[in-house]
Amino acid sequence: MTLTKSKLVKSVMENVHFKKENRDIQRVLFPELDYEVMTKRRATEIVDSLLDIIKSNLEKGEKVLISGFGKFQTKFKWARKGRNPQTSESIILKSRRIVTFQCAQKLRDKINLKSPSQK
C-alpha cells in the first residue's frame, strides 16, 4: 500500500493535537476535552509547508537530514551515451541533478525488525 499525500494529511489530522489555552474543571476531569481537533485544511497546510521546505532546500543543493529517518541529497550526473531500447538508436542523455535518499540506521533496523539488542 502506498502512502499518498491525502493519507499523510489524514494521519496528521488524527495524530497531531493542539492543547487548548483555557482549562476549566470539565477539562481537568476529562483530559480528552483539553485538545482541539485539527481541521483537514490546517493539516494540508502543514504537510504542504513541510514538503515545500524540503523541495526548496534540495533545489539549493543542500542536504535534508531528518534524524531517525534518513537523508535526502542531490547528486550531479554527467551527460552520457544511451540507447533507445525500442529502436536501438544511440542517443545522448543530458547532464542532470538527481535526488537520492539514504536511510538512517534506526529506520533500517525498524524495517528489518531488528531489536537494539541484536547488534
Residue 73 maps to which CATH number?
Answer: 4.10.520.10
44, 9 Cβ separation under 8 angstroms: yes
What is the distance between the alpha carbons of residues 19 and 34, in angstroms, rounded to a whole number? 6
Q: What is the dihedral of CA 10, 13, 14, 20, to 10 degrees?
A: -170
Residues 52 and 4 in one domain: yes
Q: How confident is the model at residue 18 (pLDDT cuts 50, 70, 90)?
A: confident
What is the distance between the alpha carbons of residues 74 and 100, in angstroms, rounded to a whole number? 6
Total domain count, the chain? 2
25 has a pLDDT exceeding 80: no
Last residue of a domain, one of 34, 58, 82: 58
Residues 29-84 have pLDDT tens digits of: 666 666 777 889 999 999 999 999 999 999 999 999 999 999 999 999 999 999 99
Grid coordinates standing for 75? 547528486
Residues 75 and 96 in one domain: yes
82, 72 Cβ separation under 8 angstroms: no
Residues 52 and 66 in one domain: no
Q: How confident is the model at residue 115 (pLDDT cuts 50, 70, 90)?
A: low
Last residue of a domain, one of 24, 40, 58: 58
Provide the domain limits for residue 14.
1-58
